[in-house]
Structure 1
């Protein structure tokens, strides 16, 4: 019997509950991605034909140079494969199609995809496409207990529905402080490798810090800020020297906003 919910215990011993994405939502996302790639491929081919033949003549282009034709085929394969690998790695397991549908690919331990896991699950689309029309992949997703295709089995990944962050009717003190400061999660960019180095434990630390901050007197607030920066900044490749307590505090609050989007889910 297929599961619609899956419970995951992270390496930090935190239990998370996810709703699995089934065949319908995964197929919809994949079709959207294929339509996008179809347009991109068509534009590339048309541009190359006009560039090398001076007119819109596919037969003339195919007959110009076998090496050129081979390079075109290889290039399109790299673009089509790279689309899935790059977007899933850099966008938290979401291609454009997945983002529109509201699903994402994650590792079985609940963490974001690594570059290797993204490469494996997408490279094995070749196998899932056998014998044609993605037949094997469709059958695997439909019949597998956790809706996995071959690529998911080998890469150790699952596809789940996005979980929305909790909505609070009343703003907390720290949320009011962040709004008053005019801070947003886009105020600085964290490299993907650095973001993945942070764990649930780090989120718990920054969450506790942020919610305690407004209750502390100025001297204790500055001391706690310096301690938190000393713990988290080295993991992110950020420097502490030369920054004021206000700069450190603002950076930590922006980090709070970024991690909140990743970890503060409604279970």
Structure 2
């Protein structure tokens, strides 16, 4: 059983984003996997570098520094907030508002790992995670980041049956996203709420007629027949 919390964020668009916060145990396991990967990579390059004497030792120390400080930064910035260890554990780092992690956020949270390590074995980071509401260590607090469980892959969207109708206005990318969101979430909304949303697009129609027309337009965007 996972003893983690859920965080609910209301977006400016009126949608509710639910994030499942990761606790210390899965984060520690992900860190252990990444530590093993870094150790194996350094061990593999250490053997040939020993043949170059002091020059090889100097190069090894440079690689040790880069692996320690930039391994997590590069993976998190370029791989949707995930290192190999986090990916294997189904974790990802995001900003506090649920937005994808950027390079600056990853850099800040990882530069402060030294403070979380004090006095040994991530003791400070572990204690801070236990007492903060969103399971954040010091680096997360400074960068305003969260470690979350990534949701499972969503099943393919079923084919939308029914008539379709081409929109009577040029659809922008944001319009298409709104229509897709309306289709995905429509089953979880009451008919009254669907009619209220549809009235924003077709205020000249009766609520029920506006909902049916918006559904037909959404099916057209999805390629329905």
Judge same fold: TM > 0.5, yes or no.
yes
Are positions 1:103 and 2:77 aligned together? no
Aligned to 1:212: 220
Which residue, 125, 128, 134 being the options, matches 1:137? 125
Are positions 1:155 and 2:143 aligned together? yes
Deviation at 1:172, TM superposition (A): 1.4
Aligned to 2:5: 4
Aligned to 1:237: none
Unaligned runs of 5+ residues in structure 2 are 162-172, 184-216
Unaligned runs of 5+ residues in structure 1 are 54-63, 175-198, 217-267
Aligned to 1:34: 35
Aligned to 1:45: 46
Using structure 1 for the length normalisation, give the TM-score.
Answer: 0.58
Relative to structure 1, the CA distance from residue 73 to residue 211 in structure 2 (aligned partners, 3 Å threshold; closer, same or farther) is farther
Aligned to 2:214: none
Deviation by residue 1:94-126 (Cα, 9 ceiling, x = unmatched): 111111111111011111001100111111112
Output the aligned Cα RMSD.
2.8
Deviation at 1:72, TM superposition (A): 3.1
* Highest RCO, 1 vs 2 (Cα 8 Å, sep ≥ 6): 1
Using the alignment, how far apart are the partners of 2:219 and 2:75 within structure 1?
33
Name the SS for the 2:97 alignment partner.
coil
Relative to structure 1, the CA distance from residue 69 to residue 171 in structure 2 (aligned partners, 3 Å threshold; closer, same or farther) is same
Name the SS for the 2:92 alignment partner.
strand
Are positions 1:122 and 2:130 aligned together? no
Using the alignment, how far apart are the partners of 1:212 and 1:107 within structure 2?
35
Using the alignment, how far apart are the partners of 2:107 and 2:175 within structure 1?
28
Aligned to 2:24: 23
List structure 1 runs of 4+ shifted beyond 6 angstroms: 199-202
Deviation by residue 1:112-170 (Cα, 9 ceiling, x = unmatched): 001100111111112111122222112212232211001100001001111124436x8
Using structure 2 for the length normalisation, give the TM-score.
Answer: 0.68
Relative to structure 1, the CA distance from residue 13 to residue 135 in structure 2 (aligned partners, 3 Å threshold; closer, same or farther) is same
